[in-house]
Amino acid sequence: MAKVGREKEGTWESYDYSLLFLTIFLACFGLVMIYSSSSYIAEIKYKDAAYFLKRQGIAIVLGSIAMLVISRVDYRVFLKPLPWKGINLTAVFYVFALLLQLYTLFFGIKINEARRWISLGPLGTIQPSELTKVAVILFVADLIYKRAKILERMRGFVYIILFVSPAIALIGKENMSTALVIMGITFVMCFVASRKKAYFFGCAGAAVGGIIAIINSGWRSKRVEIWRNVETSEKAFQIRQGLYAIASGGLFGTGLGESMQKLGFIPEAYNDMIFTVICEELGLVGASAVILLFLLLILRIFKIAINTNDLFGAMICTGVMAHISIQVIMNVLVVTNSIPSTGIPLPLISYGGSSVIFLLMEMGIVLNISRNVGRSQMAALNRNR
């Protein structure tokens, strides 16, 4: 594991600097692509070509500060018991996230027919569902840490799903795609923690069947129709233009800043569809490099997870790894029209202050876990001397 450390007062302080570098690099690359994909629209709409760049830059600075601060706070503080019996900070954090979701459902800002944001006045807006992802990862990690053996039977998995279901229900009311991400995170964490895997395949089949039934009913069925008729449907304009962008990029792309589809053809190209601009400007080679960077990021988190001797820390790493993996896969599948359209951003790259801030906070927790891995390894070396 790539680390830099020093022995001080009997402790070993270290980071996984490979993970830190990959995280910062992807965030900075996101800034470049946000400016490239948004400058034209920002100049027309706000008379400032760097409007979205500045806002995302501020979010990344705030998120990076939070990441570094959190990386210095022992992650096990979340397990600290409170005066109420059986309650700790993970439970309080989770309940707080649920209350924010409930508030958003009734009093949130409505944009594009969905209430997903809360106004913070002069500070802008926040999307509570991004906070809920962090809360669910910590809460499920705590449940597994305390009751790992219950996952040897299906009723243990159902038990954890019941605890997470309020978050899924509250978010799914306005944002089905994020609810699916949370379901996926919970499933992966439980699957990894369980020594018996067979029943998970049955549960996965039932979940997929339920999801298909949901998206084929009500207003969501319209997205399926658009997906099936992307060549002719008027409402498939965004996906169709995204496919044009991917196709025109070729092997090496048209060059950074040279995209044509971002000039008003792809609505909000700097947001969920930013991967299409990457494909157009940097080509298959550039898009493959981005995917490779995400794979390296996930690999670093995986190595931290398997090297920690703490189940709680390993489960947090598993949750963060699942979060990033699921969103990358879903975003790429959507922009290539492999699945019906969902509003899932590309982690660390798509425009969105709430998304990048809370994801950087997650990375701060993982970095802190990597420091504790370093301490454990140093302690083992000292014992063997």
Q: pLDDT tens-digit profile of 106-139? A: 887 877 667 788 887 777 788 899 999 999 999 9
- Cα dihedral value 45, 48, 52, 58, nearest 10: -140
Q: At what angle do helices 154-172 and 89-107 cross, to 10 degrees?
A: 30
At 188, the pLDDT band (50, 70, 90 cuts) reads very high
Whether 361 is covered by a domain: the verdict is yes
Q: Does the pLDDT value for residue 6 go beyond 80?
A: no
Give the residue from 284, 286, 287, 281 showing the smallest Cα distance to 256. Answer: 281
Whether 2 is covered by a domain: the verdict is no
End-to-end CA distance of the chain: 22
At 263, the pLDDT band (50, 70, 90 cuts) reads confident
Whether 6 is covered by a domain: the verdict is no
Whether the CA torsion 299, 157, 101, 113 is positive or negative: it is positive
Q: Which two three-digit tokens encode residue 135?
A: 């809360």
What average pLDDT score do residues 275-285 get?
Answer: 93
* Torsion-angle region of 257 (φ positive above 0: left; ψ -120 to 50: alpha; else: beta): left
* Of 229 and 23, more confident: 23
What average pLDDT score do residues 70-75 get?
Answer: 90
Are the beta carbons of 364 and 66 closer than 8 angstroms? yes
Helix (H, G, I), strand (E, B) or coil at 88: strand
What average pLDDT score do residues 19-37 get?
Answer: 95
Half-sphere exposure of 118 (CA within 13 A, CB side): 18
Whether 276 is covered by a domain: the verdict is yes
Whether 5 is covered by a domain: the verdict is no
**Which domain, by its residues, includes 25?**
12-383
Distance between CA 53 and CA 33 in Å, rounded? 9
Q: Which residues pair with 6 in a beta bridge?
A: 13
Q: Please give the tally of structural domains in the chain.
A: 1
pLDDT, tens digit (0-9, with 9 covering 90-100), for 302-346: 999 998 888 999 999 999 999 999 999 999 998 888 888 777 899
Whether 4 is covered by a domain: the verdict is no
Q: Does the pLDDT value for residue 4 go beyond 60?
A: no
Q: Does the pLDDT value for residue 8 go beyond 50?
A: no
Q: How many percent of the chain have pLDDT more than 90?
A: 43
Whether 3 is covered by a domain: the verdict is no
pTM of the model: 0.89
Instruction: Write the single-letter amino acid at 88.
Output: N
CA distance readout (Å), 250 to 84, 87, 243, 293, 332: 60, 55, 12, 20, 17
Distance between CA 268 and CA 36 in Å, rounded? 12
Distance between CA 249 and CA 262 in Å, rounded? 13
Whether 122 is covered by a domain: the verdict is yes
